[in-house]
Amino acid sequence: MEGRVLVTGASVAGVTAAWWLARQGIGFDLVEQAASFRDGGQNVDVRGAGRAVLRRMALEQAALDLSTGEYGTDLVDSHNQVIARFGVDEDGDRGPTAELEIRRGDIARLIYDDLGDSVDRRFGDHIAGIAQDEAGVDVTFASGRADR
C-alpha cells in the first residue's frame, strides 16, 4: 500500500520525524499551526538516547556548536558565596546540566534546515477534522484544504 504521512508540528519531535521519513524515502507533508518557524524557547538538555539519535543523524557536532555553553549550576548564599556546585555532566546521565544544552528552537532549526528543499512545509495551518475508513484517512485543514 502506498501513501504518505502527515507530520503536524515543526518543533523538535515533528522535524525529527520528518527528517527520518525523508531519509527513508517516505512521502510526507509537514504542517505547522504557527505562521512561521518558531525559533527561541527554553534550554533543553540532550542526553542518552537523544545524543545517540543526533549522532546517527550526523548532527551531534553541529548541535554541540550551538550549545548554550553553560558550565553548570552554582548555589550561593546571601553573600554570593558558593555553597554547592553542580558541574556539567559529560556522561549525560545525571546532574542538572548536560554537556549538550541547547535552546529548543536551535535544535529544531538545525534539524529543520537539514530536511532539504523537497519537503512540503505548510505554516499557518492546522488540522480541523479527521475521518478514517478502511482505505485511509481524510484530513481537512483550517485553511479549507483537504488531503487523503
Is 101:45 a contact under the CB 8 Å cutoff?
Answer: yes
Is 33:124 a contact under the CB 8 Å cutoff?
Answer: yes
Is 142:126 a contact under the CB 8 Å cutoff?
Answer: yes
Q: How far apart are CA 90 and CA 100, in angstroms?
A: 8
Taking CA 55 as the corner, what is the angle to CA 33 and CA 90, rounded to the nearest 5 degrees? Answer: 105
CB proximity list for 71: less than 8 A, separation 6 or greater? 87, 88, 97
| Residue whose cell numbers read 519537503 | 119
Q: Where does CATH 3.50.50.60 sit in the chain?
A: 1-38+117-148
Residue 98 buriedness (CB in 10 A; 0-12 / 13-18 / 19+): buried
State the angle between helix axes of 104-113 and 12-23 in degrees (0 to 180), rounded to the nearest 10: 20
Cell numbers placing 95: 546532574
- pTM of this structure: 0.82
Could you read off the pLDDT tens digit of each residue along the chain, which spans 148 residues? Answer: 467 899 999 999 999 999 999 999 898 999 999 999 999 899 888 888 999 999 999 999 999 999 887 777 889 999 999 998 887 655 545 566 677 889 999 999 999 999 988 788 999 999 999 999 999 999 999 999 999 9
The CATH homologous superfamily of the domain defined by 1-38+117-148:
FAD/NAD(P)-binding domain (3.50.50.60)
pLDDT at residue 2, rounded to an integer: 63
Cell numbers placing 10: 515543526
CA 3 from centre of chain: 24
